[in-house]
Structure 1
Amino acid sequence: MDANPGQYEQSTSGTSAAGGTAARRRSLGPLQMVWRELFNYPGRVIVAACALVVTATSTLAIPFGFRQIIDQGFAQGADPAVIRWWFLALLGVVTVLSIATAIRFYSVSWLGERVVADIRLRVQKHLLSLSPSFFEENSPKEIASRMTADTAIVEQVVSTTVSVALRNAIMAVGGVIYLFALAPTLTAGLVVAIPLVILPITAFGRRLRVVSRSSQDCVAEIGAKTSEVFGALRVVQAFNQEDRELERFGGAVERTFATGKRRITIRAVMTAVIMFLIFGSITVIMWRGAIGVAEGAITGGTIAAFVVTAGIVAGAFGSLTEVYGDLVRGAGAASRLAELLAERPAISPPARPQAMPYPARGKIAFERVTFRYPSRPEVAALHDFSLTVEPGETVAIVGPSGAGKSTLFQLAERFYDPQSGTIKIDGVPLTSADPAEIRRRIALVPQEGVLFAASARDNLRYGNWQADDEAIRAAVRAANAEDFLKDLPQGLDTFLGEDGGRLSGGQRQRIAIARALLRDAPILLLDEATSALDAESERLVQDALNRLMQGRTTLVIAHRLATVREADRIIVMDGGRIVEQGTHETLAGAGGLYARLAALQFDSAQALPVD
């Protein structure tokens, strides 16, 4: 199979994406994506907001109750009934606070779970619309980390951080207002100290944003390495590379720890500085207030209420500094998810797609096609290539590695568009049709049967999800897969494991053939489906392929020339061009590239024998 360079137009977006990331690091702007999802549930947001306001105001009502109790209850000759009333009122406030807190917690936690679920679905839907070239340039394992670790951070932001931030903001603002009502002069001094708190937040926050993003990238690297190593564990152990992989993983872990240490150091220093400024300011102001009480300028209840309220305000500002760090982490996570959503599909349907003709005939035409992979623009994978395959015709494609064979398949399925020339299916240019409609007319049997971590039935139905049991059984029989599927513990309902790990290579390939049979498409693409099989498996698979090919337009990429003898036509490719074409007998005797390739595989005395 041809090595696929893979990087496509997505690479052109990398520069702008990087610039956008740098801009996003300087603000909490990426969280706008979260807010938009949040307000898809206005009723729940209103309930959470009301509960939030009630909890904040109830908290601020407690110092007011203390003031009344001290000033009226502890005064000489105080009325016990008044004291009882104010204590009952205070208990009422505490009861309201408790109930509102429960409602707030449930509502914001529900929103967090729901918003993260929606974001995951939205990102997954978008990723499924991108062409395979995007995932050749961007690690699927790293993307998986974004879908798990980053969305977990976003969930924390919605379900906890935002709630804490808003509650503390309300208490801070409301507390300052109440402090002005209690003691305007003392509060003025407190307000003057607020800019001293904001400046360190700004200074430390800028550094914290950058480090937080780096920390998340390192965590994603760990996830990618873990998935990569365990996915190839047999190879790791076969070559005794456990220690090396542990060393690589240890390096990633230490880089994550070092980055995390920088992040928590910045947060720790920022918290210490801000706490000192806040509580230092309050201490100085309280000192002045104590003198006022001694001089009789204010009452004991007022100073008590001022102390409690100032403590609440200080705690609120202190929490806001910590919450800011969490919001920064959330913004970093949201920006990584937003980058995925910002990717535009390299291949997309036209505004008004041309309808494909029915019934389908299965004719394929490459007309003077020139194609260069964007990562290798200096080399043409196909050069002025023309080929027409008539309905029902079987064309075998042979040639050395890098000749452009697999590129034909990728262009036929419209995973790429050529720089010049036209590709048509049933007379319709692919660029004028909906890619989904094009692919419905094609069934693919890859070189290695790709299976999913699901049951045998679901893997078979991947070719046609509406297929009933009768159609599945017919496809299984035609693919020579009936016997081994019956022997599975739960038959078709048996879970096949990751990548179909419970099956042999030949069995996986026969399920892939049965899947293509269920597809029942007029065009069949075979990427040398028997090249990695033993003789017995190859015989069974080849027999199944012969049934699959009947009545279908078939393109066969052949590395083993013995599989192409019965083709209606053989195309020999080299350097992105057709250098020979004809039948096996004609080409074998022509002394060209096909004959030389055949000589490499068979004894000269029995070149290309009949099996």
Structure 2
Amino acid sequence: MSNIFSNKVNDTQAFTSLLPIFAFIKPYKLMVFYALLALLVTAGVNLSLGQGVKFVINNGFIAGSESQLKTAILALIVLITLLAVGTFSRFYLMSWLGERVSADIRKAVFNQVIKLHPSYFEENRSGEIMSRLTTDTSLLQSIIGSSFSMALRSVLMLIGGLIMLLVTNLGLTLWVVACVPFILIPILVYGRKVRVLAASSQNAIADIGTYAGEIIQNIKVVQSYTHEEQEKASFANEVENAFSVAKNRIKQRSLLIAIVIFLTFSAISVMLWVGGTDVLEGNMTGGELGAFVFYAIMVAMSVATISEVYGELQRAAGSATRLLELLNITSEIETPEDPKIIEKSHSTIIEFKDLDFYYPSRPSIAALQSINLKIPMGKVIALVGPSGAGKTTLFELLQRFYDPQSGHVLFNNININELDLDEVRQRMGMVPQHPVLFSSDVWHNIRYGNPSATDEEVINAAKLAHAHEFIEQLPEGYNSFLGEQGVRLSGGQKQRVALARAILKDPEVLLLDEATSALDAESEHHVQAALEKLMQNRTTLIIAHRLSTVVNADLILLMDKGQIIAQGTHAQLLNESRLYKRLCELQFESAIT
């Protein structure tokens, strides 16, 4: 598995890895300014409350003046009102910023992932990628919208509180300052443990999502083999593993917070004893002690908050690292900087020249070897051969999902590596043997071939694919939701919807991975008639499993073990190739006359 999901950062990198996230915050400088302004106001008001407490005690309680007490209480109420308004503004603005930045990061990551080369997804599980897209971005949202604000506020309160402590009583402040190193040491030690365990916890959660997604996606297979109990046990094991990791993380984090609180309030208790002695001896007033206690608690709570946020920032550092590495991945299949223009051709449209190809996940096994082939414009080419012969691989190279290790794929006499990637793919229409439908309605699934198509054009494409009749019988017709991967349709119905999508795209080159294989005899007859009309004046490559497709082809390519071992018409190959004759007997139901 790629190391993007197991990368660990040290303490120095923990925070520097978060710095690139600020690039996503930069467009919202005004909101950041208002949020920081609200933060400064609330911090200032909080610090002023200590002086309010001192004023109440000295001028109200000790002086015994009711009017002064009233004035002091009113002043406190004003400060508390300002604190409430400032806190609302700070919380709203920072939460808005966190949600906005999280949304922007999600879009950036998705935009990056959706254009990556297919071989990347062979090496990295889609479930883990989705976990980073959702779980990691949610954690960053929490950090930016809440934890980061808390950290800034706590730092301000810590600095301001220490200054006010010095102003109030220098001697007692030395007690507080002397205790700070003893509090920071466990923060650094246990914070590192929390970060490591947090990364493990994130990976365990990703494993749960990947496992559950695979089982749910293949639920019919699970139930058909009555593996429900086995899958329950396996999933429970995954969950318990994640819980075990999370339990260790929670234990370390709880221990960190407990130690900080114990040390902090122990220091305050000692300070109270020393300060109380000073009050009894007349060295300081009760109001000064009250204000000092207020600031000391403020400093203690700030340190406790920083220790808690530190662990969150450590977790966020790992998330940011994984997300940023996803954003920095360069796709191996890209449009050249200065793509060539595809000129109109009247002869050969596709050529495979001295082509060798190995899948990245199987680098020692040749998927295609020494392929040399010219496909004239407007012709129907049938690809036949046993499973694993390389038929589908030719389709994938033609659409440039992969680049060959040697040789070239030419389109209108131009290497497709030199052409605009989108233009190449827009000129081709693919109907796979196992069609892919999206969790949406019929309109969306057919219109995927041409998003700008009108309703009338969509319906006409459905009619040509012989899908209109069954679509009209669905509960809501073309507005019917088809379920995940079109689960509400039969195999033949899904294939006809996919065929309608290709018809709507109206491509120059039609790629059919036996598009009629899941149809009954009557539907196949109608769809085949529609295909024959669609294939007129259009270059068509068909991976064939039925005789009706083979006999009508202009050229048949017989493939085996990644090579083209024979080519010709149906009659020629029957006479010249024993493998072709045997395939006809096996795959084409002995209809070889």
* TM bracket (short chain): over 0.9
Contact 1:399 1:572 in 2 (8 A): yes
Equivalent in the alignment of 2:38: 51
Please give the secondary structure, in 1, of the residue aligned with 2:214: helix
Please give the secondary structure, in 1, of the residue aligned with 2:14: coil
1:66-87 deviation digits (Å, cap 9, x = unpaired): 11222222344x6544333322
Of 6, 15, 26, 1:39 maps to 26
Question: Residues of 2 paired with 1:450 and 1:163: CA distance?
Answer: 45
Please give the secondary structure, in 2, of the residue aligned with 1:381: strand
2:387 is the alignment partner of 1:404: no
Of 534, 537, 544, 1:551 maps to 537
Equivalent in the alignment of 1:608: 592
Equivalent in the alignment of 1:464: 450
How many angstroms does 1:393 deviate by? 0.9
Equivalent in the alignment of 2:137: 151
Equivalent in the alignment of 2:307: 321
1:252-299 deviation digits (Å, cap 9, x = unpaired): 110111000000010111112222222222222222222222222211
Q: Please, which moves more after superposition, 135-144 or 425-434?
A: 135-144
Q: TM-score, normalised by structure 2?
A: 0.96
How many angstroms does 1:414 deviate by? 0.5
How many angstroms does 1:34 deviate by? 3.1
Question: Residues of 1 paired with 2:477 and 2:588: CA distance?
Answer: 41
- Alignment CA distance shift 1:225-1:19 (3 Å): closer
Equivalent in the alignment of 2:517: 531
Letter in 1 for 2:562: G
2:297 is the alignment partner of 1:311: yes
Equivalent in the alignment of 1:302: 288
1:38-82 deviation digits (Å, cap 9, x = unpaired): 232111111111111111221121111111222222344x65443
Contact 1:478 1:547 in 2 (8 A): no
Equivalent in the alignment of 1:541: 527
Question: Residues of 2 paired with 1:540 and 1:359: CA distance?
Answer: 31
Identity %: 43
Equivalent in the alignment of 2:182: 196
How many angstroms does 1:361 deviate by? 7.6
Question: Residues of 1 paired with 2:12 and 2:408: CA distance?
Answer: 44
* RMSD over aligned Cα atoms: 2.0
How many angstroms does 1:332 deviate by? 2.7
Question: Residues of 2 paired with 1:420 and 1:237: CA distance?
Answer: 45
How many angstroms does 1:362 deviate by? 7.6
Equivalent in the alignment of 1:130: 116
How many angstroms does 1:22 deviate by? 4.3
The within-5 A match list for 1:254-273 is 254-273=240-259
Letter in 2 for 1:48: A
How many angstroms does 1:409 deviate by? 0.7
Question: Residues of 2 paired with 1:134 and 1:362: CA distance?
Answer: 32
Question: Residues of 2 paired with 1:564 and 1:531: CA distance?
Answer: 13
1:361-392 deviation digits (Å, cap 9, x = unpaired): 88111111111122222222112211110110
Please give the secondary structure, in 2, of the residue aligned with 1:351: coil
Question: Residues of 1 paired with 2:246 and 2:6: CA distance?
Answer: 24
Contact 1:509 1:541 in 2 (8 A): no
Question: Residues of 2 paired with 1:131 and 1:24: CA distance?
Answer: 33
Contact 2:348 2:413 in 1 (8 A): no
- Alignment CA distance shift 1:358-1:87 (3 Å): farther
Q: Please, which moves more after superposition, 292-301 or 559-568?
A: 559-568
Question: Residues of 1 paired with 2:486 and 2:395: CA distance?
Answer: 24
Equivalent in the alignment of 2:377: 391
Letter in 1 for 2:228: E
2:415 is the alignment partner of 1:429: yes
Equivalent in the alignment of 2:570: 584
Contact 2:465 2:499 in 1 (8 A): yes
Contact 1:153 1:333 in 2 (8 A): yes
Question: Residues of 1 paired with 2:347 and 2:146: CA distance?
Answer: 58
How many angstroms does 1:602 deviate by? 5.3
Contact 1:562 1:608 in 2 (8 A): no
Q: Please, which moves more after superposition, 472-481 or 246-255?
A: 472-481
Structure 2 residues not aligned, in runs of 5+:
none
Question: Residues of 2 paired with 1:361 and 1:493: CA distance?
Answer: 43
The within-5 A match list for 1:238-249 is 238-249=224-235
Number of positions where the alignment pairs a residue of Structure 1 with one of Structure 2: 593
Question: Residues of 2 paired with 1:370 and 1:577: CA distance?
Answer: 10
How many angstroms does 1:104 deviate by? 1.1
Question: Residues of 1 paired with 2:252 and 2:204: CA distance?
Answer: 18
Letter in 1 for 2:471: L
Equivalent in the alignment of 1:373: 359
